[in-house]
């Protein structure tokens, strides 16, 4: 990654992708070697973790190679993928809560593990939404940015 040609926001996205990849690898190794949670019977969450790991690895490789445009496109796709899957998982949590809420007309539910997961998922959706907005506005110039586009280094060079 050429630090001079990439704006600070895109560099920050790259370094967060590196950190996310490290955490994803550690988490996947923990699931495989310690908990056996996703193996031998694959689950939707396991497929999501594996897909996110592949996307994250590809993004970091593109960033290291200095392919700014390809990295930005993959970062956008990765964030959109995370938003969609995380929203689906949150919808599952809400469907678990909904019968209790409707039965008791009590919006405040007991705080449990699902509550923490729901709050974390909302935080993740928000952060990924900010990254998508940044990429759309500043890298792809879609959302009304009037600055001239920055030069991009292609991977062909």
The average pLDDT across 120-143 equals 92
> Does residue 56 belong to any structural domain of this protein?
yes
Number of domains in the chain: 1
CB 70 within 8 A of CB 155: yes
Overall pTM surpassing 0.85 (yes/no): no
> Does residue 151 belong to any structural domain of this protein?
no
Quote the percentage of the chain above a pLDDT of 70. 81
> Does residue 84 belong to any structural domain of this protein?
yes
> Does residue 113 belong to any structural domain of this protein?
yes
Report in angstroms the alpha-carbon separations of 37 from 16, 28, 34, 113: 26, 10, 8, 17
Domain that holds residue 92: 8-139
> Does residue 112 belong to any structural domain of this protein?
yes
Report in angstroms the alpha-carbon separations of 28 from 47, 57, 101, 130, 133: 11, 13, 34, 26, 29
What pLDDT does 3 receive? 53
């Amino acid at each position: 990654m050429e630090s001079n040609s990439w704006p600070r926001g895109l560099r920050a996205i790259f370094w967060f992708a590196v950190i996310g990849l490290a955490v994803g690898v550690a988490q996947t190794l923990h699931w495989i070697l310690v908990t056996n949670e996703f193996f031998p019977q694959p689950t939707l969450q396991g497929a999501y973790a594996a897909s996110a790991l592949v996307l994250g690895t590809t993004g970091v490789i593109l960033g290291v190679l200095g392919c700014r445009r390809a990295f930005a496109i993959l970062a956008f796709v990765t964030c959109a993928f995370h938003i969609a899957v995380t929203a689906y998982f949150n919808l599952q949590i809400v469907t678990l809560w909904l019968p209790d809420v409707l039965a008791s007309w009590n919006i405040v539910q007991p705080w449990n593990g699902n509550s923490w997961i729901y709050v974390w998922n909302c935080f993740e959706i928000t952060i990924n939404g900010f990254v998508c907005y940044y990429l759309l506005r500043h890298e792809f110039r879609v959302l009304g940015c009037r600055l001239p586009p920055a030069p991009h280094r292609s991977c062909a060079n």
